[in-house]
Chains A and B, each alone.
Chain A
Amino acid sequence: MGDRLAIRELGLVYGARRGDVKALEGLSLRVGAREFVSVLGPSGCGKSTLLSIASGLLAPTRGEVHVDGTPVQGPRPDVGIVFQQPTLLPWKSVLDNILVPIAATRRTTAQDEERARALIRLVRLDGFERHYPHELSGGMQQRVGIARGFMHDPALMLMDEPFAALDAMTREHMMDELQRLWMDSARSVLFITHSIPEAVYLSDRVLVMSPRPGRVVEEVQVDLPRPRNIDTLGSPGFIDICNRLRRQFQEKHA
């Protein structure tokens, strides 16, 4: 126990026209309290499906999902989601977009707004509170999406390749910001990505998924000191872990 997220022997079968498709099979993983875990896998290995199940939006064919010890049986507000695309409401300002998780179920208060403003400062968007998404760059929009994910202080954050749509420069910058946000909020994160350096830089543990049907085939502990920074990217320890993961990838998927 003590796990924020525990997934055991998860299986998901899609009924497709040409017979059933096994998206996931025998997938088990756990994310501890305050732990940052990345799931690394090739495209089409069911990573996004895994997130849908973990957030309670999709029921698995087999297996169990527990958040904080209670089984997931439907959508749970204590789980935050960040998507690949910023997916903001174009007709709402930055501030109102970040307030969405609160406004969805009740009236927002001055305190909520205070918290939203603090999050805006954390993702370095001060001064843009009243701007609309179309007035921001892609990177800034994604920062709004991430801040929104943290707004209602969910026990568990699920992130589906949130930096995939960003250019390389912005991406490194964002990795830094996410680390800061995570260290500040002390939440658990399950982070989906297909970038090895991204996974290693951010995570306490990196899980490697197999191609379809997806399951966890490898687990690598990342013991690099925090907070990590630009220097981490060039450190022997970092490069060593990246290389190890890369080799495993090649063996598994050759």
Chain B
Amino acid sequence: MKDRLLSIALGLSSLTVLLVLWHVAVVGLEVPSYLLPKPADVGVAMWSGYVVQGTYWKHLGTTVYEMVVGYAIGCSVAFVVGAMVAEWRLLERLVMPYVVALQSMPKVALAPLLIVWFGFGVASKVVLVALICFFPVFINCFYGFRSANPDLLRLYRSLRASRLHVFLHLKLPSAAGPVFAGLQIAVVLALIGAVVGEFVSSKQGLGYLIQSSTLSFDVATMFAAILSLSLIGILASTLVRMLHSRLVFWERRDGAAPAPLSEGA
């Protein structure tokens, strides 16, 4: 607890120092505000965007919506397909070559095409996000479902357990760790996908806000939007991480594992 307070205090003080340095640099070097705003200007933009005028909310809402819906679709499809491909060798041989080929393709390059197909609205961004999220989750699911301990597989086989039972009680929990690792990667990619989609063409969203403020050299708004995006990213990946440690309780990643009990304890 004391340790935690200390690290929060240290984090806050380094942030303060950084903001002060930023301010001093902008004022001292007389950097024009269309290149780099003062931290206070960003604060004012945030305040007016979210509190006074409230115009940022719809942009924030749009981006979060695209991100969350695309993420949910991409990850669920990846999970189901990954599980199926891991379970059936024939499917593996059919599907894997395509996956390997498509994996190295930068999915954001598809953004303009998706706009053509799905329009300027939210749908094209959702599809892009889903596509981007699919691959890391799929690969992790696939290897996760294959990662079950071979001795345990032998044990279940010798007990003549049904395939479904083995899947639910052995393969699924064995995959949990890798699956969450994939979900963690995908959550960051989802945000990138949504913003890139909005960059290409959109009428709303934080990506749109950044682009539209370039036209008016409104750098403070740009910074406010970027700050909002960072906060979304931090919040989303924290959520996934919390879910991970809650659900996959048997994996210890904090390094603070309780000492194993001694013999005869």
Binding site for B on A (CB under 8 A): 52, 55-57, 75-77, 79, 81, 83, 85, 87, 89-91, 100-101, 103-105, 124, 132-140, 152, 169-170, 173
Contacts and interface: CB of A to CB of B under 8 A. Distances in A.
A79 B13 CA distance: 65
B260 A104 contact: no
Contacts of B250: 90-91, 132-134
Interface of B is mostly: loop
30 contacts: A52-B154, A57-B154, A57-B157, A75-B158, A83-B155, A85-B151, A87-B151, A89-B170, A89-B173, A90-B173, A90-B250, A91-B250, A100-B159, A101-B159, A103-B169, A104-B156, A104-B159, A104-B161, A104-B169, A105-B159, A124-B264, A133-B250, A134-B250, A134-B257, A135-B258, A135-B261, A137-B260, A137-B261, A139-B263, A140-B261
A89 B162 CA distance: 17
B155, B157, B161, B257 interface centre (most CB from chain A within 10 Å):
B155
Contacts of B159: 75, 77, 100-101, 104-105, 152
Nearest to A57: B154
Which are the 9 A-B pairs with shortest beta-carbon distances? A104-B161, A90-B250, A104-B159, A75-B158, A87-B151, A137-B260, A91-B173, A83-B151, A91-B250
Contacts of B169: 89, 103-104
Contacts of A152: 159
Contacts of B258: 135
Interface in B156-174: 156-162, 165, 169-170, 173
B83 to A, nearest CB: 17
Contacts of B157: 57, 75
A105 B169 CA distance: 12
B152 A89 contact: yes
Contacts of A79: 158
B262 interface: yes
Interface residues of B, number: 29
A56 B149 contact: no
Contact of A170 (B151, B158, B251, B263): B263
Contacts of A134: 250, 252, 257
A137 B260 CA distance: 5
B154 A81 contact: yes
Contacts of B261: 135-137, 140
A57 B151 CA distance: 11
Contacts of A75: 157-160
Given A79-B158, A81-B158, A140 B252 contact: no
B151 to A, nearest CB: 4
A26 to B, nearest CB: 26
